[in-house]
Amino acid sequence: MRKKIIAANWKMYMTVTETENFYRAFAAEIPQNNRFEILIAPPATALAKLSELNARASQRIRLAAQNMFYEESGAYTGEISPTMLRELFVRYVILGHSERRQIFGESDALVARKVRAALHYKLRPILCVGETREQREAGKEKEILERQLRVALQGVESSSLESIVVAYEPIWAIGAERSAVPEQTQQLHAFIRCVLTYLSNAAVAEKIPIQYGGSVNTGNVAEFLSQPDIDGALIGRASLEARKFADIIKAANKLS
């Protein structure tokens, strides 16, 4: 059975001090019977502090990075290497997020290099894929998703694919007041799993968690996670408050 993952992507929010305050409040709120793997992806400046706090608390959560370069070291101003992340006990790294693609011009080919590097250094990539509103209205969402998956996973062995997490984030739903409809989202998650099956085999594809990212909150998380191919959530703004993020996890844990 696939492990369900709930991840917080803090983007460019939360200072080191705010991270420390969040963690102390959040650690007290995590339900004792939690059945989900909980990830937090803070800004790079807060990774060391979060790693330190988490070690003291017996690893209550898993650390994730929001980005990573594909080289181990070198003259790459402003970048962070896989080995730097490993040293901080980071285990997951978000790659190909729509904001990286749209604002910073990251191509499918660049995302692919990062995915291969992450796997090489024993980091679990959270590969983000998703369509814009214009692409969806043109009926091209499946075409876009298939292309992003094919390019990003080209050359990755089936045995390594089991370490990947896919996050479907329809760009038009990120930060929106209204999220996507869970049943429609399930259809695209099932399509993503079909593509993963084609790129590997059914046994491997069944092991790959597929998260949903797009305005997930306390009121809708259970409905999303009740769908057979939605294996977790990648949460943005709703994860910035300790109580609110904990409430989402509590709501998800109420699923039978």
Active-site residues, by number, are 97, 169
Nearest partner of 130 among 143, 109, 144, judged by Cα: 144
Nearest partner of 230 among 251, 217, 212, judged by Cα: 212
157-193 in b/e burial notation, b at 16+ Cβ within 10 A?
A: eeebbebbbbbbbbbbbbeeeebbebeebbebbebbb
* Cα–Cα distance measured from residue 186 to residue 31, given in angstroms and rounded to the nearest whole number: 27
Reading the block at residue 75, the tokens are 């003259």
* Cα–Cα distance measured from residue 53 to residue 91, given in angstroms and rounded to the nearest whole number: 16
The residue to which tokens 């080919």 are assigned: 109
* Cα–Cα distance measured from residue 196 to residue 106, given in angstroms and rounded to the nearest whole number: 22
